[in-house]
């Protein structure tokens, strides 16, 4: 390839990737599979590394991050980042409308939008290129977090269409709740504390120094406000829809995320709609924002020191209920972490009946002086698990006594410990506490770890109670004769179980490492360790310093790993597992393409499956030469339909004559 060809290919790839990015993240209608996208991106990365002079500053390769920001520069906002005045009642909105109308001397048009509960961001563009992204800070100046923001796929790096030469666009960056939930699940798997709420988590992520980590976190962003000297239109609604044509993800009218109204009654209806419908969104909102649509009128209304007079936020009351706290119980996790749980008088909150709520840790109980028998306020935040946020002291029973946090493990009575700097208490009896042992075994057999079919938590309980297993290595010594003696164990289930155990011996090293259940060693960390050290012996023999030298392995993880391998029982377990034939070395594979039976075929995978996870299904499709897309169109060949698939998808597939396959039918196609 000569220089000219390289430059041309770089430009061509950048443009293609930009279009596919837009189709996927902004318009929700992917045209190529994730695999194809990654291939194009890899080619561009290779070319940019070879011909750095041609790499564009806003190249799509910026999406994967790579730059490290040691200190975020402080930048003065060109336009101050004001806040909105809040209202909590309809009367206040009526007063707002009256003030505005009085000044306008006529009926006024308003826009209604959601009030996104995320991190405010101002992104400026020059000549269609993302120039800078700055946090709100104190409103006058904020932090330059450009490199991190560039990794957010729904924020365009290069614009399309007819955009002004220079302008700024403001919006809110947030964690989709599904992403936040998955993040917390993987933290929990790694024995780390859950993050309290999506907003703080987003704010923390955006301040990370390594943009590669930010890129892996799948943040999203809605843009809701355009500012500049030469904007194409004189109304907010028109400018937002213009911004959509330049490639921004803006709240859409068609999704009822945006509306224009002339009457306060219509605004109330919008509020009523979202006050319940918000429970079905994949992100958090904390109210509705009402803005005067016309820019001239906005200017006339002007600003107070803190906020515009042409806009107001209607804040939803945090969904809160009061109920009786019957009892505080304590849960022991598989790593020994203790979580206090509030057992409540069942109560309806945000559409679901709540019986239990998290009390987090001893400090939280002490801070709020939460006691059994109290009437407590329970709130549903971003967390799926509700939390106790306050106590109604006026109703405290007269005989009430302060809560004394437990000193011993509720399961094995060992004295609890509290490591300095950590919020949680731990039961240190790792190899003797039954709950921890069973928890570790459940983790070991789980889908993302050893994925042992035919074995569930109940069976683990049974096997443990009968004394057939004392740790996860014992699973490999189970035999037919012993198992058949157990209750509810017929020949078929016994053979399934033994087959599942046998199959797990093929599970790759990184998952075996994850399955061991070492505190702070989650899926991602396991992969990193396996890739770096290649064998378990190399990890066992590594010093603390050598562990910390691995990308993304910090002191906390290294110390946990190091001390795990210091314990003779743990080494003994590993030796046993080795002797049973489990994988303790990495097997490096090249291409995974197995066959091309699905060449030219396009698949949509939707719902929940029994044998495969959704990702495994997608990978299998690609391994057999097929292509995955996100939504059904005329060009789709197959819809693989799992449980819980929405009826709309099925209807669409039927109307477009797309073949619908069950998971079993798909597996049969592979077998053929």
**Tokens 């849960």 sit on residue:** 331
Query: Which is it for strands 602-606 and 387-392: parallel, antiparallel or unpaired?
Result: unpaired
Distance CA 528, CA 534 (A): 10
Identify which range of 114-122, 268-276, 325-333, 542-550 contacts ligand IVH by CB under 6 A: 114-122
For ligand IVH, the closer CB: 84 or 259 = 84
Task: Using alpha carbons, select from 288, 294, 236 the residue that is nearest to residue 105.
Answer: 294
Nearer Cβ to ligand IVH (172/374): 172
Least Å from the CB of residue 102 to ligand IVH: 21
d(CA 275, CA 112): 13
Q: How far is the CB of 140 from ligand IVH (least distance, A)?
A: 13
Query: Does residue 308 touch ligand IVH according to CB under 6 A?
Result: yes
Check if 317 is active-site. Answer: no
Residue 110 or residue 116: which is nearer to ligand IVH going by CB?
Answer: 116
What mask, x for binding ligand IVH by CB under 6 A, covers residues 150 to 179? ----------------------x-------
How far is CA 275 from each of CA 63, 265, 278, 319, 377, rounded to the nearest angstrom? 35, 15, 6, 10, 20
Looking at the Cβ atoms of 314 and 514, the one nearer to ligand IVH is 314
The encoded tokens of residue 407 equal: 């000193």
Q: How far is the CB of 331 from ligand IVH (least distance, A)?
A: 36
- Tokens encoding 326: 């019957």
> Residue 419: is it exposed, middle or buried by C-beta count within 10 angstroms (0-12/13-18/19+)?
exposed
* Site membership for ligand IVH, residue 240 (CB under 6 A): no
Strand pairing partners for 660?
639
- The sign of the dihedral angle between the CA atoms of 104, 108, 111, 112 is positive
Identified binder of ligand IVH from the candidate list 32, 41, 108, 120, rule CB under 6 A: 120
Selecting among 70, 102, 107, 115, the annotated active-site residue is: 115
Structural contact between residues 161 and 184, judged by C-beta atoms closer than 8 angstroms: no
Give the nearest distance from C-beta 167 to ligand IVH in angstroms.
15
Q: Which residue is nearest to ligand IVH (CB)?
A: 120
Q: Per the structure block, which two tokens stand in for 208? A: 């990370």
Nearer to ligand IVH, 234 or 556 (CB): 234
**Should residue 24 be labelled a site residue for ligand IVH when binding is judged by CB under 6 A?**
no
Enumerate the β-bridge partners of residue 486: none
Tell which one of 116, 261, 330, 584 touches ligand IVH (CB under 6 A): 116
Q: Which residues within the stretch 309-348 sit at the binding site for ligand IVH (CB under 6 A)?
A: 311, 313
Stretch binding ligand IVH (CB under 6 A), from 306-314, 352-360, 443-451, 495-503: 306-314
Distances (CA, A) of 187 to 101, 173, 418, 519: 52, 21, 19, 10
- What's 431's DSSP letter? T
Q: Give whichever of 170 and 505 is closer to ligand IVH, judged by the CB atom.
A: 170
Tokens of 206: 């955006």
Which positions from 58 through 97 interact with ligand IVH, judged by CB under 6 A?
Answer: 82-84
Interatomic CA distance for residues 115 and 104, integer angstroms: 25
Quick count: other Cβ atoms within 10 Å of Cβ 148?
27
Which is closer to ligand IVH, CB of 120 or CB of 515?
120
> Hey, which residues between 279 and 298 contact ligand IVH (CB under 6 A)?
289
Return residues touching ligand IVH (CB under 6 A).
Answer: 82-84, 113, 115-116, 120, 172, 224-225, 289, 308, 311, 313
Q: Could you give the residue numbers annotated as active site?
A: 115
């Amino acid at each position: 390839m000569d220089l000219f060809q390289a430059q041309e290919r770089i430009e061509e790839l950048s443009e293609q990737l930009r279009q596919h990015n837009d189709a996927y993240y902004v318009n929700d209608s992917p045209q190529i599979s994730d695999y194809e996208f990654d291939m194009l991106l890899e080619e561009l990365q290779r070319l940019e590394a070879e011909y750095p002079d041609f790499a564009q500053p806003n190249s799509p390769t910026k999406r994967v991050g790579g730059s490290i920001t040691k200190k975020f520069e402080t930048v003065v906002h060109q336009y101050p980042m004001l806040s909105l005045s809040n209202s909590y009642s309809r009367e206040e909105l009526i007063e707002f409308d009256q003030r505005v109308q009085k000044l306008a001397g006529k009926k006024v048009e308003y826009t209604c939008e959601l009030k996104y509960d995320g991190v405010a961001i101002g992104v400026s563009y020059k000549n269609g290129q993302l120039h800078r992204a700055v946090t709100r800070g104190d409103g006058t100046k904020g932090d330059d977090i450009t490199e991190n923001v560039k990794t957010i796929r729904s924020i365009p790096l290069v614009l399309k269409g007819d955009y002004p030469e220079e302008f700024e666009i403001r919006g809110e960056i947030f964690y989709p709740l599904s992403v936040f939930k998955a993040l917390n699940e993987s933290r929990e798997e790694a024995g780390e504390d859950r993050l309290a709420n999506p907003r703080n988590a987003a704010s923390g992520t955006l301040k990370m120094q390594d943009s590669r980590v930010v890129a892996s976190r799948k943040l999203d962003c809605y843009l809701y406000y355009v500012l500049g000297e030469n904007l194409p239109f004189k109304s907010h609604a028109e400018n937002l829809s213009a911004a959509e044509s330049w490639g921004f993800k803006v709240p859409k009218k068609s999704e009822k995320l945006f509306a224009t109204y002339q009457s306060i009654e219509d605004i109330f209806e919008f509020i009523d709609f979202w006050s319940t419908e918000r429970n079905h969104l994949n992100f958090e909102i904390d109210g509705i924002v009402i803005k005067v649509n016309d820019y001239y009128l906005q200017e006339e209304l002007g600003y107070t020191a803190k906020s515009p007079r042409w806009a107001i936020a209607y804040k939803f009351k945090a969904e809160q209920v009061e109920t009786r706290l019957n009892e505080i119980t304590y849960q022991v996790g598989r790593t020994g972490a203790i979580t206090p749980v509030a057992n409540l008088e069942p109560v309806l909150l945000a559409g679901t009946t709540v019986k239990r709520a998290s009390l987090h840790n001893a400090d939280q109980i002490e801070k709020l002086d939460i006691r059994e028998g109290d009437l407590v306020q329970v709130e549903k935040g971003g967390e799926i698990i509700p939390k106790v946020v306050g106590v109604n002291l006026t109703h405290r029973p007269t005989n009430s006594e302060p809560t004394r946090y437990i000193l011993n493990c509720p399961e094995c009575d060992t004295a609890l410990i509290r490591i300095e700097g950590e919020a949680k208490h731990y039961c240190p009896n790792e190899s003797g506490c039954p709950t921890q042992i069973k928890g570790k075994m459940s983790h070991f057999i789980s889908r993302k770890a050893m994925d042992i079919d035919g074995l569930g938590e109940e069976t683990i309980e049974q096997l443990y109670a009968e004394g057939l297993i004392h740790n996860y290595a014992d699973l490999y010594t189970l035999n037919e004769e012993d198992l058949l003696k157990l209750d509810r164990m017929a020949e078929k289930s016994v053979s399934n179980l033994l087959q599942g155990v046998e199959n797990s011996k093929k599970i790759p090293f990184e998952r075996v490492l994850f399955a061991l259940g070492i505190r702070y060693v989650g899926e991602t960390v396991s992969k990193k360790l396996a890739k770096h050290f290649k064998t378990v012996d190399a990890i066992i023999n590594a010093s603390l310093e050598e562990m910390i030298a691995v990308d993304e392995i910090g002191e906390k993880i290294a110390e946990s790993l190091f001390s795990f391998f210091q314990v003779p029982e743990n080494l003994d377990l590993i030796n046993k597992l080795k002797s049973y034939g489990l994988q303790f070395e990495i097997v490096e594979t090249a291409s995974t393409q197995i066959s091309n039976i699905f060449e030219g075929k396009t698949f949509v995978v939707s719902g929940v499956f029994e044998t495969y996870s959704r990702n495994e299904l997608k990978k299998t499709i690609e391994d057999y030469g097929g292509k995955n897309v996100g939504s059904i169109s005329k060009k789709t060949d197959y819809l693989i339909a799992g449980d819980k698939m929405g009826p709309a998808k099925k209807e669409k597939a039927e109307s477009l004559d797309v073949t619908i396959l069950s998971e079993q039918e798909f597996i049969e196609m592979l077998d053929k």
